[in-house]
Each structure stands twice: as C-alpha cells, then as structure tokens.
Structure 1
Amino acid sequence: MTTSQPAAPSFFTNRSTQAIAQDLLGTHLLYTSRQGTLGGLIVEAEAYIGTDDTAAHAYNGRRTPFSEPLYHEPGTIYIYQLRGFFLFDIVTQAVDQPQGVLIRAIEPTHGIEQMRLNRPKPGVELTNGPGKLMGALGIHDKQLTFQNVADAPLMIDLAHRRHPKSIVTAPRIGVNYKAASGQLPYRYYVAGNPYVSGLPKRQWDLEQHGWQF
C-alpha cells in the first residue's frame, strides 16, 4: 500500500450519519506515530444522531467542554474516556449539528506486531472493541481531539478499501436500552468478521472475514 486518500470533510456530510457509518465499513483507520503506521479495516461502527438521540452526548442540545468537539466541522476527531478506556468518534454533518460515528472495531492490517506490543492480547481480542482498538494503536489521551481526520495523524484512508458481502444492522452496545433511542438499530458491522465485538464464533467467516473478493 503506497498511496493513501484521506477522507475529506465532504465524506462526513451531505447524507445521513447512518449512511456514513455504513460507508466507513471497509475503509482503513490508520494512525501514524513514532511507532510507525498502525491500523486496520473498520468492521464495526455506531451512529449517534445528535440532539434527538437519547444515547448521544449532545442529547437535548447538551453542549459542555466534554462534548464541544461534536459541534465542530465534519471529520473532527472526538476522543473521550469511558470506564478507563479512550474511544474514537468522528464528527458528521455541518457545524452545530452534533452528530457522529463511534468506531467500534477494526481488523488489523498495519503494524500488527507493534499493536500486539501495545496491547498484548490474543487473536481478535486485540482490536474487537472501541477501547481495545485505541489501546492497540497506542492512543491513551485526548490530544488529537479537535483535529480533523483529513490531515491528522489519525486518518480514514479511502484508497484501498474493501467491500462487505453483507452489513448487519443492530442496536447499539452500552447505551440505556430503556430510553427512547435505546433500541434504535444504529450499529453496523461486517457480517461474519471475527473482529466484530462480541460476535459469536459460530458466526465467524474464517475464510474471507465477510469481505467481497
């Protein structure tokens, strides 16, 4: 892989956040640091649709220093901490429309040995969750927050993407299921990919990992 095509802000607007989340599946999430370039194919993502979404940080127009990145330009990086883990969200839609996509899991493709040093866990446990993938990338702070994936060390590469055979739509994980938005099917993942968080082994596609070839 020699050339990359960073996703521009236009990738993250002019369509629904749900559509953007699905379109991110099969693109590369890449982080370039002193450890080299680390990352992999996005296999799972969740959409959060702003002020009317009870699971969103901007629900009811909430705007605090914590959620401020959501109100910035499309493609803005929003890293936040939850239960001791750092999570990576990408802002979607125009300024002051606080929507975003949480990247939940990746299939490692770049710098795998270094990622295993960063997070010494076996097999899919390396990156099959939003906090796990950030640990494997070696990101343990919020310093990249407010930067844009178009020109940040943490980027979305559109140049060498793969295409899922099938995309599964399901409720999000870790939200209040009793709230109004709790059961909305805004989680999307590559059917059969072993790196999808919590996917039972009986559903794994061990030959093609759910990709078209």
Structure 2
Amino acid sequence: MFTPVHADFFNAPTLELSRNLLGQILVHELPEGVVAGRIVETEAYMGAEDRAAHSFGNRRTKRTEIMFGKPGLVYTYQMHTHTLVNVVAGPEETPRAILIRAVEPVEGIELMRERRGKHMPMKQWTSGPGKLTKAMAINMDYYGHYFTEKPLYIAQGNPVESVSVGPRIGIGNSLDAVHYPYRFWESENPFVSKFR
C-alpha cells in the first residue's frame, strides 16, 4: 500500500530536502495496524553553523552522534515528556537534521484517536512534533533506524503545491538563528502547528 522512498531521495541539500519532505507519507507499521500521516510541516537544522541545532559547533555527544551519519537515518530525542522525530540530512560528518513538525492523518485514524483521546478534535492530534509521535507510537527505540526500512519509514506521496517558508518555532535562546527561514509548511493546511 505504501512504498518507502528510495535512499537517493535523502541525498539532497538540507533545505531542499526539508521542502521535499512535504507531501511525503510518514508510515509506522504496528502490530495492531498501520498508522500514516502526510508530512505538512518541517524544520531544518543546519548543524555546526546553526545555533539552534543540537550539533552547533560540531558538538558530538551520545545524543547527537547519529546526526553525523548518512542522510535518511532517524534521529529521535526527548523533549520534556515527548519524543521528537527527525530525518538526518546533509553529507556524512555534516551533522544536520530535519524535524518533522506536523502530519495530516491518512491511515489508522481509529488507532490515532485512541492514542490522542476520543474527545480531542482531529486537527489537534498531529499538529506538533510531540503530538504526532504520540499519535503514531514513535518512540526512542527508532534512534539510528533508517527511514527506507520498515516498520517506520517515509513513503512516496505527492509534492505540495503551495509551500510557505518562515522562522522556526520554540528556539528563543538561539540569537540570530531565531530568524532563519528554515521552517516549511503546506500553506493553509489545518494540521500545521500553531505559531505562538
């Protein structure tokens, strides 16, 4: 039903890949069924020269180690009580990553409803990076997994017609990096996270 993208898909410059991810499908094949969401919002983190990136200044720690790997690897990390999921980007040893910020549910709606709460409106299920991992049961176990391999993969979708570009969200202490236009989203999509 869903076909993982080819490894070559990830071999694009980071900002281009961040835009190209829009419209692709994030798929998680679970024992109880498949959950999938169309990617509608991403944020690029440009590594050594980007103050907002975990790998700013080529910082190499247990957490950031995977960012130095090949593009298309999964970089998960914990923020408060949430797991956030990222696509490693850029050539090896260039520690860049793209945060998947929001998806639009396309498969496994009932499974997502159970995880996010029966009374929550659907457009709040996956409209943020911690929300979508909860809805799709993505956890830290996927750190270092490869996004072309099941059970968690990015599948071919359709390119997005209208893309908006702007500053990233929630990086208030990163000086000039606050203003970099590294966030991409499908214009007018109701599942895009709210900019506060």
TM-score when normalising by structure 1: 0.87
Give unmatched runs, 5+ long, in structure 2: none
Matched, 1:151 2:149: yes
Q: What residue in structure 1 maps to residue 25 of structure 2?
A: 28
In 1, are the aligned partners of 2:23 and 2:39 still within 8 Å (CA)?
Answer: yes
Give the % identical residues.
36
CA distance in 1, matches of 2:79, 2:64: 13
The one-letter code sitting in structure 2 at the alignment partner of 1:28 is I
| Superposed displacement of residue 178, structure 1 | 5.2
The one-letter code sitting in structure 2 at the alignment partner of 1:181 is A
| Pairing 1:54-133 to 2, within 5 Å after superposition | 54-120=51-117, 121-133=120-132
Shift >6 Å, 4+ stretches: none
Q: String of CA shifts for 1:57-112, please: whole Å, max 9, x gaps.
A: 10001000011110111111011010211000010122211111100000000100
| Superposed displacement of residue 199, structure 1 | 6.3
CA distance in 1, matches of 2:181, 2:69: 25
| Superposed displacement of residue 198, structure 1 | 0.8
| Superposed displacement of residue 138, structure 1 | 1.6
Matched, 1:52 2:60: no
In 2, are the aligned partners of 1:69 and 1:76 still within 8 Å (CA)?
Answer: yes
| Superposed displacement of residue 132, structure 1 | 0.2
Q: String of CA shifts for 1:104-123, please: whole Å, max 9, x gaps.
A: 00000010011110111222
| Superposed displacement of residue 194, structure 1 | 0.2
Q: What residue in structure 1 maps to residue 9 of structure 2?
A: 11
In 2, are the aligned partners of 1:30 and 1:38 still within 8 Å (CA)?
Answer: yes
The one-letter code sitting in structure 1 at the alignment partner of 2:94 is Q
The one-letter code sitting in structure 1 at the alignment partner of 2:160 is P
CA RMSD of aligned residues (A): 1.5
CA distance in 1, matches of 2:147, 2:43: 17
- The count of residues paired between Structure 1 and Structure 2 equals 194
Q: What residue in structure 2 maps to residue 207 of structure 1?
A: none
| Superposed displacement of residue 180, structure 1 | 2.5
CA distance in 2, matches of 1:178, 1:65: 22
CA distance in 1, matches of 2:195, 2:52: 22
Give unmatched runs, 5+ long, in structure 1: 201-213
Q: String of CA shifts for 1:167-205, please: whole Å, max 9, x gaps.
A: 0001000113651311100000000100000169xxxxx
In 2, are the aligned partners of 1:10 and 1:74 still within 8 Å (CA)?
Answer: no
CA distance in 1, matches of 2:174, 2:140: 30
CA distance in 1, matches of 2:152, 2:33: 12
The one-letter code sitting in structure 2 at the alignment partner of 1:6 is P
Query: Tell me, what secondary structure is at the counterpart of 2:175?
Result: coil
Q: What residue in structure 2 maps to residue 142 of structure 1?
A: 140
Matched, 1:179 2:178: no
